[in-house]
Amino acid sequence: MRMDNRENTDLRPVKITRHYILHPAGSVLIEMGHTKVICTATIEEKVPGFLKGSGSGWITAEYGMLPGSTGQRKSRNTKGIDGRSQEIQRLIGRSLRSIVDLKQLGERTIWIDCDVIQADGGTRTASITGAYVALKDAIQTLIEKSLISVNPIKTSVAAVSVGIVEGNEILDLCYEEDSRAHVDMNVVMTGAGEYIEIQGTGEEKPFDRHQLDRLLILAEKGIKDLTEAQNRVLEEA
């Protein structure tokens, strides 16, 4: 058993609350254990300059952590975004664009904003998982307003962390586990079981192909459970 009494193959408790913020077209609070992220989707009726006249839309993301989200105060990005946050928001944007037919979206941009209000590991994976639900609601808003006639979302997307801690392959690492992991990996997959992105690092020592295969199987199991959680909340009125 792990420090929070989970089996190695268990996710942390997952809770997704839709319509969490009043103004955006889509918004959720996603909670995975003690990690909490607000994900919003805002529609803008224009596209970046490189897409003007193309008939194609765009999805982009921003990510940040509030000052009180970690054990020690995290400074606000008043001097520009840090490298870690930039890498994470690019990951979120890539993950969501990969499941959307941007031509069907039309020449408009959907801004995904992921704000971590409490961090305990897995903030980037929780952001992707929650952002999908916010995006789904934003797209539904466009359909209901007859701004688009075809749903451009081709499949779902979710993400989860896996790793090896003290020789044990485990799913959905909290911060304390992540800080001790000698292999740390983030996996982004569609609901159909296809990979979008795999980020894996041997922090202290290398890992072999058999360990990689077992970690990917574990991630696939976690993604399936997260996809079911997304579907359950999206089925609510």
* β-bridge mates for residue 72, sequence order: none
Token pair of 18 as six digits: 């839709």
Whole-number CA gyration radius for the chain:
18
Whether 121 and 222 have beta carbons less than 8 Å apart is answered as no
Q: Name beta bridge partners: 186.
A: 161, 199
Return the biggest CA–CA distance within the chain. 56
Spatial CB neighbours of 176, under 8 Å, sequence gap ≥ 6: 3, 121
Nearest Cα residue to 119 out of 157, 156, 161, 90: 161
Pairing mode, if any, of strands 168-171 and 157-165?
Answer: antiparallel
Tell me if 25 sits within 8 A of 42, measured CB to CB.
Answer: yes
Phi-psi map region of 56: left, alpha, beta (phi>0 left; psi -120 to 50 alpha):
beta
Annotated binding site: 84, 122-124
Q: Which residues are annotated as a binding site for phosphate?
A: 84, 122-124
